[in-house]
Amino acid sequence: MLFFRKLVFLALSIGIFSFENAADAGVIYNNLPPVTSIGGTDPIAVDGPSYNSFSTGSSVAVLTDVKMLLQRSLGTASHFTVTLLSDSSKSPGAFIKTLGNFNDSDLSLSASVYDISVNSYVLAANTRYWIELNSVSGATSVVEWNYASSSAGVGVSNEYWAYSPGGVLTVYANADSSTPYQMSVTTSSAVPEPGTLGQVLATLGVGAFFAARRKAR
């Protein structure tokens, strides 16, 4: 019984340690005002699709919220989409998940923070992702994404932004002279590391096996 108790303690220690060291919780990217001021806007109909990258920390994270500084121009309101993409050599990569399709009419004619609640998508550790803003397929959106006056902000300096004027993708590093799009990304760390649950169950399983053998003697 003492042996089994020690194993239970070890298993719980593994789980607790992993939870405590799970990925950076809270805001991992933020250059929304007042962190930085607005530098201007890029209309999706002309320069889209447009992209902003962000990266996770040393452990897995759960994506819970994305905020974007958006507005709409005058014109016929349509629909826009916000998408999560992978990274491909510091450029927007493959499609991962549609975060939502939205109405241009939800936006004002001046810059405002548009909040996109995410249904708890698990992000890998030490990984770059991209947020894409584009018109819904078959539509021409009048949405515009505001860009910052500098690369200041949480998690901004080592990231990238991209747009597609004339249909040609152009990627820029968020250097001091660059002007990334304005957004924030929030994560939760309420998940264990991958494999942690398996470690805990395996440890308890071994303990149960040896405890059963001792009892059978």
Q: What is the 3-state secondary structure (H, E, C) of 53-111?
A: EEECCCCCEEEEEEEEEEEECCCCCCEEEEEEEEECCCCEEEEEEEEEEEEHHHCCCCC
User: Do 69 and 5 belong to one domain?
Assistant: no
User: Do 48 and 116 belong to one domain?
Assistant: yes
Range of the domain at 196: 1-22+192-217
User: Do 49 and 2 belong to one domain?
Assistant: no
| Tens digits of residue pLDDT in 82-103 | 999 999 999 999 999 999 999 9
User: Do 110 and 133 belong to one domain?
Assistant: yes
- Higher-scoring residue by pLDDT: 80, 217: 80
User: Do 205 and 128 belong to one domain?
Assistant: no
Residues 6+ apart with CB under 8 A from 4: 207, 208, 210, 211
The pTM score is 0.78
Say which CATH number the domain at 62 has: 2.60.120
User: Do 100 and 205 belong to one domain?
Assistant: no
What is the total count of domains within the chain?
Answer: 2
| Tens digits of residue pLDDT in 152-195 | 999 999 999 999 999 999 999 998 678 999 999 999 985 554 44
User: Do 208 and 162 belong to one domain?
Assistant: no
Query: Over 90: is that where the pLDDT of 27 sits?
Result: yes
